[in-house]
Homo-oligomer: A and B are copies of this chain.
Amino acid sequence: MMNLYEIARYLEAHDNYEILTHAYPDGDTLGSGFALCLALQQTGKKARVITTGVPSKFVYLKDGVSEQSFDAQTIISTDVAADSLLGSNTEKYVGRIDICIDHHGSNSLTAKHKFVDKYAAANCEIIYKLLQRMGVKITKEIANCLYTGISTDTGCFRYTNTTAETMRVAASLMDFGCDTAYINKAMFETKSREKIQLEHAVYDTISYCAGGRCAVIYTTLDMVKRLGIGDDEMEGLASIPRQIEGVLIGITMREKEDGFFKISVRTNGDINASDFCAQFGGGGHPAAAGCTIEGDLDSVKARLVEAAERFL
């Protein structure tokens, strides 16, 4: 485990960075990646961010990033908790990562050096502190990246991972000119027509078990195809079942192409989502975790319902 001062010195001593983000990228991994890239470029280093594709709602995170041509020498990962989460980049990069910066307590990524702070609400909170130790000027573009990661990973400061420190970092980013009006509107107050239709369809799938303490929703490939939904529209669905009064375990099942369901679990109270998902080989945070299960809709749902009734 390196500390943030040591990472800052390491970054000073090396060059030609590739910054890895996780598959199905969210605001935190992309915000971390692009903020760090901007910071490295500001200090005269060469750097690029490697993604599995930037969803259209996040393209503003690239503002100010220069496209640079170089042979990669140093590999950093941001917000990547496990080798497999590199997605299509796994084979190319696994085992080659020099520094892993993450906020998942369960981090198992293969990397030479690591900094993992599970008390950081967002990985961008860590990146903010790293940038201070690098002596980087927090530009409006960097502030936008970091605010995006922090606000999206905390549900705009409403999830229980939000700390006083999270609020203070966000306050500083606002002092540095981040465009909270644009970001909050785009992240939290805008839904595409397709997303509205998807939510509508998903509401039809709500079922309850364990006496109303568990709610399950799902999407199927058919639904997604019929509505013409992109993968980035699927984000946020997982918060629906947990919001229902009396629900302790909210489960969202997404059918994938390969015969698997991607399961997102969100919990209330002291129910541990990560422990729940561990039963299926998954993991995550105490209140938000995930796993994948092979099978058809009915059988996967039956296994989850049975597990929930046992768990509660």
Q: Does A190 contact B (CB under 8 A)?
A: yes
User: Known: A156-B158, A158-B189. Contact between A174 and B184, CB under 8 A?
Assistant: no
Q: Which of A186-212 contact B (CB under 8 A)?
A: 188-193, 196, 199-200, 203-204, 206, 212
Q: B171 and A164: CB pair below 8 A?
A: yes
The segment from A95-103, A218-226, A238-246, A294-302 that touches chain B is A238-246
Q: Which of B181, B188, B243 contacts A191 (CB 8 A)?
A: B243
Does A268 have its Cβ within 8 Å of any Cβ on chain B?
A: yes
Kindly identify, within residues 213 to 253 of chain A, every residue whose CB is under 8 Å from any CB belonging to chain B: 239, 242-246
A residues in contact (CB < 8 Å) with B: 151, 156-160, 162-165, 167-168, 170-172, 174-175, 180-181, 184-185, 188-193, 196, 199-200, 203-204, 206, 212, 239, 242-246, 268
On whether the beta carbons of A244 and B188 are closer than 8 Å, the reply is: no
Report chain B residues within 8 Å CB of A244: 190-193, 196
Given the complex, which residues of B lie within 8 Å of A192, measured CB to CB? 244-245
Q: Are A196 and B206 in contact (CB under 8 A)?
A: yes
Point out the residues of chain B lying under 8 angstroms from A168, CB to CB.
167-168, 171
A162 and B180 in contact, given A196-B203, A196-B244 (Cβ under 8 angstroms):
yes
When distances are taken between beta carbons in the complex, the residues of chain B under 8 Å from A162 are 180
4 A-B pairs closest in CB distance: A167-B171, A164-B174, A200-B203, A164-B171
- Contacting pair A200 B191 (CB below 8 A): no
Which chain B residues border A196 with CB–CB below 8 Å? 203, 206, 244
